Structure 1
C-alpha cells in the first residue's frame, strides 16, 4: 500500500511539472508570436494620402491662458499680516 501511494505521488509530480511547462509555454508563446503577425487595421475613413479628405478641425488651447502676472506687487505691511495670523494668547483663569 505504501509503495502504491508513493508511485501515485511520483506520477502526479511528473504530471504537474509537465502541465506547468505547457502553461509556461503557452503564456510566452502567445505574446512572442503575436509580434511576428502583421498589423492589420480596418480603415473606415478615407485614404490618408488624399488631399481632399475631410478632417476634424484643429483647435488650440494655451497652456498658460489663465496666467496673469503679479509683478511688480507692492509689499504689504508685514507686521499687521504677521499679527493677524499669530495665535491669540490664552487667558488665565
Structure 2
C-alpha cells in the first residue's frame, strides 16, 4: 500500500511537470506504523496485571440518580389565588 501511494504521488508529480514533493499522508501512515513499535512509557500501563502491589488509577463513583428529588405527592395550591396573581391587574382610572 505504501508503494502504491508513493507511485501515485510520483506519477501525479511527473504529470504536473514538477519534482516529487513531500507527501504528508504518506508521512502520517509511516508514523502510525512506527508508533506501534514504541514501548509503553506510562508506569500504570507497564504494570503487571497479576501483581497485587502494582499501582493503578483511582476509580471514582458518581451516582447517575443523585440529583433526583421526588415531586410527588404534591399538595395542590388554591387555584383561584394563583389565577388572580397571574392575571393582569386592572388599570387605574377605568
TM-score bucket (shorter structure): 0.5 to 0.7
SS of residue in 2 equivalent to 1:36: helix
Matched, 1:35 2:36: no
CA distance in 1, matches of 2:27, 2:91: 72
Q: Using the TM superposition, give the Cα deviation of residue 42 of structure 1 relative to its aligned residue in structure 2, in angstroms.
A: 0.8
Structure 1 unaligned spans of 5+: 1-13
Question: TM-score, normalised to structure 2's length?
Answer: 0.53
CA distance in 1, matches of 2:86, 2:56: 57
Q: Which has the higher contact order (CA 8 A, sep 6+)?
A: 2
Q: Using the TM superposition, give the Cα deviation of residue 88 of structure 1 relative to its aligned residue in structure 2, in angstroms.
A: 2.1
Whichever of the two has the greater Rg, that structure is 1
How many residues get paired? 75
Hey, what does 1:72 align to over in structure 2? 73
Hey, what does 2:54 align to over in structure 1? 53
Greater per-residue helix proportion: 1
Structure 2 unaligned spans of 5+: 1-15
